[in-house]
Amino acid sequence: MTNPLRRSVTAQRTARAVARTAGRLTSSARMTPGFLIIGGQRCGTTSMYRTLRQHPAVLPPVLHKGVHYFDTAYSRGMGWYRGHFPLEATAARVARRTGIRPVTFESSPYYMFHPLAAERIARDLPGVKVVVLLRDPVERAYSAHAHELARGFETEDFATALALEESRLAGEAERIAADPDYTSHSHQHHGYLQRGHYAEHLERLEAVFGRERMHVVDSHRFFTEPEGVYDGVLQFLGLPHAGYPVFERHNARPRSPMPEDLRARLEEHFAAHDERLAAWLGGPVSWGGRDLSAR
């Protein structure tokens, strides 16, 4: 007898394949994103996605929140990408009902770290805005390791994975840049330290998009002061206020406390990067209440 769970998974995959095919066939009649949540990984991107999709003028992608077109699926073409978004006819119905022209979006956290994604986004979605979420890079690294471990993309303990990172990622960004069809498992899943070098990534993004098309959210503030952060995001996106949505935290994974000696080493590693970030932002960030601009 066929396992019911396996039947359910197979049915879901079949339904998604059918939806993708239908989407590709009607791609010219579909919306393209007005903004993207591009990272960082494990920084509250799912929570922000679910918050913004509650706005009456924001339409989410049809299948799932992250399309990953501009990083690992770019060879599939723009028709494939547009197939993931709502029909223009749907947007027109929403506009008639609300009086607001809706926008669509997606959230793929690897876009921020992938060496080719920003240029691809700027070329294919001219004028698109990008939202970036950041958190304490020490906690982000630990959370990312638990996430990759749970998904089967990591087999080493946290300390070992950190020690292996340099060799695992050596030359991978260069290989991706040299061969657009190349995908790197380690670059996508094992960048615990490098993904937390936030200022480097923001400077690279600014060179592509310009500061005016970027909005950076401190995820600690998002979870502790959601109304103010939400107001700022709506202002950046040019969306009218339609009341506050339900603010919830998603995708948190339980994990044991980090050893204090390892935490101290990581804080030392990220200190200069955090100072550079505070300078880029022009003000302090709140990693557990610490004011890094004064370091």
Segment 50-100, tens digit of pLDDT: 999 999 999 999 988 899 999 999 999 999 999 999 999 999 999 999 899
One-letter amino acid at 154 equals E
Structure-model confidence comparison of residues 284 and 10, the more confident one: 284
Q: SS3 of 19, please? A: helix
Q: What angle do CA 237, 131, 192 make, to 5 degrees?
A: 170
Distance CA 2, CA 111 (A): 39
pLDDT of residue 22: 53
Query: Taking residues 123-148, what's their average pLDDT?
Result: 97
Q: What angle do CA 22, 70, 202 make, to 5 degrees?
A: 145
Whats the size of the chain, residue-wise? 295
CATH ID of 20-294, from 3.30.460.10, 3.40.50.300, 3.40.50.20, 3.40.50.720: 3.40.50.300
- By DSSP bridging, strand 286-287 and strand 290-291 are antiparallel
Domain boundaries, the chain: 20-294
In this structure, of 24-28, 45-49, 105-109, the range with the lowest mean pLDDT score is: 24-28
pLDDT of residue 293: 35
pTM for the model stands at 0.88
In this structure, of 60-69, 129-138, 168-177, the range with the lowest mean pLDDT score is: 60-69
- Residue 181 Cα to chain centre, angstroms: 21
